[in-house]
C-alpha cells in the first residue's frame, strides 16, 4: 500500500510539473493570442462604426453601399486578427492562407455571375448613373428605378410592371437617364399644305407655344424649315418642357396645333 501511494504521489508530482512547465511555456502565448482576438474584435466594431458614420454623414454615400463597405471593413480586420492570433500560437498560417485562397477561388468560380452583379452594384452605387425615382433605359429595359441593391435593380415600367434587372446587365450597357436633366427637348414635325407660307405657320406656332403653360420659356423654342415633298412644306418644331410629364406636354401641343391650324392645312406627326 505504501509503495502504491508513493507511486501515485510521484505520478501526480510529475503531472503537476508537466502542467506547470506547459503553462509557463505556452500560457503567455495562448493569452497573447486571445488578447489579439479580443483587440481585433473591438477594433473591427470600432472601424465598422467609423466607416458607416464617415460615409453616410461626411460623404453622403448611399445606405446600401455604406452598409456593404462598413461590413467589409469589419470582416477584413477580423480576418487579419485571426491570422495574427494563429501566428502567435505557432500555427503555420502560410498553409492555412493557401487553403483559404484555394477555397475562395473555387467559390468565386462557382459564384462568378453573382460576384459580377455585386461588383456592378458597387460601381453603380459609386458612379450614380441613376438614382431611385429616376426613369432610365438600358439594354432594352425601360422604367423608373424603385430600389438599387448589390445584386439587382428593381424598376417599374410605364405599364406598371416590376422588372428585376441584374446589375451586370445594366452596368455593361449604355444607360439613358430620362430624369437627370430636369428639362427635355421635344420635337414635332409640322406638315404645311399648299397655299400656306412657312412664315405664317411659324408665327401661329409661336403663339400656340406661348399659350401652353407646360412649355418652358428658356431655352427658346424654334422652328426649322426641313424639306418640301410634293408641294407640302415641312417644319420641325422644337420646344423645351419639364422631363416629368413631357409626353403630356407633347400631346397637349399636338392637340392645340391641330385644333388651331388643322383647318388651314397644317398637320402634326411626331418623329419615330
The domain limits of the chain are 2-110, 128-177, 183-269
Q: Which CATH architecture best describes the domain 183-269? A: 2-Layer Sandwich (3.30)
Burial of 65 (0-12, 13-18, 19+ CB in 10 A): buried
The helix (H) or strand (E) run that includes residue 163 is: strand 162-166
User: pLDDT value at position 9?
Assistant: 60
The residue count for the chain: 272
Q: What is the pTM of this model?
A: 0.58
Question: Backbone phi, then psi, for 263, in 5-degree steps?
Answer: -70, -15
Q: H-type helices in the chain, by residue range? A: 2-53, 63-88, 93-110, 112-127, 167-171, 198-211, 246-261
User: pLDDT value at position 267?
Assistant: 72
| Residue carrying the nine cell digits 462604426 | 49
User: pLDDT value at position 231?
Assistant: 60
Report d(CA 121, CA 126) in Å as an integer. 9
Residues forming a β-bridge with 242: 183
User: What class has domain 128-177?
Assistant: mainly beta
If one looks up domain 2-110 in CATH, what number appears?
Answer: 1.10.287.1260
User: pLDDT value at position 272?
Assistant: 47
User: pLDDT value at position 14?
Assistant: 56
User: pLDDT value at position 211?
Assistant: 85
User: pLDDT value at position 270?
Assistant: 53
The alpha-carbon radius of gyration of the chain (Å, integer) is 36
Question: Backbone phi, then psi, for 181, in 5-degree steps?
Answer: -85, 125
Q: Which residues of the chain have pLDDT under 50?
A: 272
Please tell me what DSSP assigns to residue 178. Answer: S
Amino acid at each position: 500500500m505504501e509503495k502504491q501511494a508513493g507511486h501515485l504521489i510521484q505520478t501526480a508530482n510529475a503531472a503537476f510539473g508537466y502542467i506547470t512547465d506547459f503553462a509557463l511555456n505556452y500560457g503567455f502565448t495562448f493569452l497573447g493570442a486571445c488578447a489579439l482576438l479580443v483587440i481585433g474584435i473591438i477594433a473591427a466594431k470600432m472601424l465598422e462604426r467609423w466607416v458607416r458614420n464617415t460615409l453616410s454623414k461626411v460623404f453622403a454615400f448611399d445606405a446600401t453601399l455604406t452598409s456593404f463597405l462598413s461590413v467589409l471593413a469589419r470582416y477584413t480586420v477580423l480576418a487579419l486578427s485571426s491570422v495574427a492570433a494563429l501566428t502567435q500560437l505557432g500555427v503555420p498560417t502560410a498553409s492555412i492562407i493557401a487553403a483559404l485562397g484555394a477555397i475562395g477561388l473555387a467559390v468565386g468560380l462557382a459564384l462568378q455571375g453573382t460576384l459580377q452583379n455585386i461588383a456592378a452594384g458597387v460601381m453603380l452605387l459609386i458612379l450614380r448613373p441613376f438614382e431611385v425615382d429616376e426613369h432610365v433605359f438600358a439594354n432594352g429595359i425601360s422604367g423608373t428605378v424603385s430600389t438599387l441593391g448589390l445584386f439587382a435593380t428593381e424598376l417599374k415600367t410605364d405599364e406598371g410592371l416590376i422588372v428585376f434587372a441584374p446589375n451586370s446587365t445594366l452596368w455593361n450597357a449604355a444607360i439613358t437617364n430620362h430624369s437627370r436633366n430636369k428639362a427635355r427637348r421635344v420635337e414635332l414635325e409640322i406638315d404645311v399644305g399648299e397655299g400656306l407660307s412657312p412664315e405664317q405657320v411659324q408665327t401661329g406656332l409661336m403663339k400656340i407655344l406661348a399659350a401652353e403653360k407646360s412649355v418652358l420659356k428658356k431655352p427658346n423654342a424654334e422652328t426649322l424649315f426641313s424639306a418640301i415633298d410634293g408641294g407640302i412644306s415641312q417644319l420641325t418644331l422644337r420646344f423645351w418642357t419639364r422631363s416629368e410629364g413631357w409626353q403630356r406636354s407633347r400631346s397637349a401641343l399636338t392637340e392645340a396645333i391641330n385644333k388651331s391650324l388643322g383647318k388651314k392645312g397644317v398637320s402634326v406627326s411626331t418623329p419615330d
